[in-house]
Amino acid sequence: MSVFLISANVLLWAWQIRRFRGKRANVRDKVIVYSLYAIALGLGIMLAENWIIPDLLRPFISLLGQVNRLFGTG
Amino acid sequence: MSSRQLTMLLALHYWGSALLGLPSMMIGLSGKDAWAPILLGMLFQMLIIPLFVAIYSQMNGDTMGQYLVRTLGKTAGKTMLALYLFFVPFLIFILTLRSLGDFTSNDLFIETPPSAIYALILFALVYCLYKGFNAVCRSTEITFPIALVLLVMLLLSLIYGADWSNFLPVFEKGVHPVVEGTINFMAYPNSEVALSLFLVPLMKNKQAYQKALIHSTWITGITLVLLTALIIMVLGESLPPNMPYVSQFAAKTVTIGGFYERSETVVTVIWFIVIFYRLILTFYIAAHGCAELFGLKQHTGLLIPLALASIPLAMNVWDNPSVIAELNEVWYLNVFFFNLLCPLLWYTAHKLRNRVKSS
């Protein structure tokens, strides 16, 4: 499944590059969109290699928990 | 977008995860009095709606990004927009996507990898948003009546196994659990009315916007009160807090005359419809908001990369669904800050700015 996601990412990125060439999109648009594709590809590779600890929400919950204790409501 | 379409869209959005998860959460907090916080929350929501209508007037047809820049200045406005987009619509989108995967993996497609489910639903979301958000709004005129009819069918089915004595004694544990439940209900799903501010440029006029907010609030409130009350009557107060998908379990208990059974499929169909609209609204707001943030003219170019990035994020947001219980204890802080306090600050800041300019 990870291979499928990475392949889909690369193919869709290539399709987007073709679209931008045809439309002659400005540099800012290209940079933003290609950056997002790169981030998505990076996350896909990290998922495939199990580099991400599957607990991304923990820091957020801890932060809100501390705010909760600060206000004395938790 | 007409008032009717916004009403239906917001109602479907509020029902989103609430139909499956809210009764369990409310009964866990308020016990057999879980119907009371939902009623109270609905009434408080009616009092808050004028704030969002006032912000609509201040926005004057502008987008949220333009309004924030006009109100808070360029840097503060863009920072506020970035924080809001990340901590509200995008976060809700990722969490809802993960909930969808958890539900389908546990109950429906047990052997299917969750990422396949995410890819399928994201393909549908991206395709629909490529066709334009107006098309999505028009589609609610077809799907909302279907969801409502199925929901009424479910509620009527549950009446057969209901035991009214499960409500007694009323307010046994006092007012405190009811207050706690009201705060949590206002946090989820009611505070998400703030997301409708991103749809202001699509609305015709203030009256239509106000009508939509009011109607969506009472439609969602009444249906959730009835659902929660019937679940208490069917299952009591001790079982639901220990179940993640209590509406579906309650539907499984329905058996009438030995032939009217398997009504949990009704819950599944309703839930897929409403979860789709919850995902599409939050995804649209996240993509459109990002386009505004980075100064892009069109948000369609961002749909595919955001969808691709959301799959690994949804897969790693938590390792098992028990984290939801911890999140429910603190979620109200996030949404109260971004969906209630921040709009109040924006309204006040805009008023002060206008006063300074006129003097």
**How many domains are contained in chain B?**
1
**How many domains are contained in chain A?**
1
From B113, B331, B334, residue closest to A1, measured CB to CB: B113
- Do residue B333 and residue A36 have CB atoms under 8 angstroms apart? no
- Is the pLDDT reported for residue A74 higher than 70? no
Asked if residues B71 and B349 have their Cβ atoms less than 8 Å apart, the reply is: yes
Question: pTM score, two decimals?
Answer: 0.93
Q: Quote the CA–CA distance of A65 and B317 in Å, as a whole number.
A: 17
What average pLDDT values come out for chain B (359 residues) when binned by 10 residues?
A: 93 88 88 90 93 94 92 93 94 93 84 90 95 93 94 89 82 86 86 91 90 94 93 86 82 80 84 93 95 89 94 88 83 90 94 86
The pLDDT of residue A52 is 79
Q: Cα torsion at B209, B211, B214, B217 (round to 10°)?
A: -70
The pLDDT of residue A73 is 64
From A1, A2, A33, residue closest to B302, measured CB to CB: A33
Q: Quote the CA–CA distance of B338 and A43 in Å, as a whole number.
A: 27
The pLDDT of residue B252 is 85
From B312, B318, B326, residue closest to A46, measured CB to CB: B312
Residue to test with chain A: of B316, B332, B336, B341, most A Cβ within 10 A: B316
Q: State pLDDT tens for residues A13-61.
A: 999 988 888 776 788 888 999 999 999 999 999 988 888 778 888 889 8
Residue to test with chain A: of B315, B323, B327, most A Cβ within 10 A: B315
Range of the structural domain that residue B267 is part of: 3-358
Which residues of chain B make contact with A68, given a CB cutoff of 8 A?
329-330, 333
Range of the structural domain that residue A60 is part of: 2-70
The pLDDT of residue B291 is 93
- The amino acid that residue B215 corresponds to is H
Q: Which residue of B has its CA nearest to A27?
A: B296
- Do residue B313 and residue A43 have CB atoms under 8 angstroms apart? yes
Q: Quote the CA–CA distance of B71 and B353 in Å, as a whole number.
A: 7
- Do residue A28 and residue B330 have CB atoms under 8 angstroms apart? no
Which residues of chain B make contact with A37, given a CB cutoff of 8 A?
304-305, 308
The pLDDT of residue B247 is 86
From B305, B313, B319, residue closest to A55, measured CB to CB: B319
Q: Quote the CA–CA distance of B128 and B119 in Å, as a whole number.
A: 14
- Is the pLDDT reported for residue A12 higher than 80? yes
- Do residue A9 and residue B331 have CB atoms under 8 angstroms apart? no
From B296, B305, B323, residue closest to A37, measured CB to CB: B305
Kindly provide the ipTM of the predicted complex, given to two decimals: 0.90
Q: Which residue of B has its CA nearest to A4?
A: B116
Which residues of chain B make contact with A17, given a CB cutoff of 8 A?
none
Q: What is the 3-state secondary structure (H, E, C) of chain A?
A: CHHHHHHHHHHHHHHHHHHHHHHCCCHHHHHHHHHHHHHHHHHHHHHHCCCCCCCCCHHHHHHHHHHHHHCCCC
Asked if residues B19 and B154 have their Cβ atoms less than 8 Å apart, the reply is: no
Q: Which residue of B has its CA nearest to A16?
A: B301
Assign residue B46 the CATH number of its domain: 1.20.1740.10
Asked if residues B185 and B38 have their Cβ atoms less than 8 Å apart, the reply is: yes
Q: Which residue of A has its CA nearest to B92?
A: A57
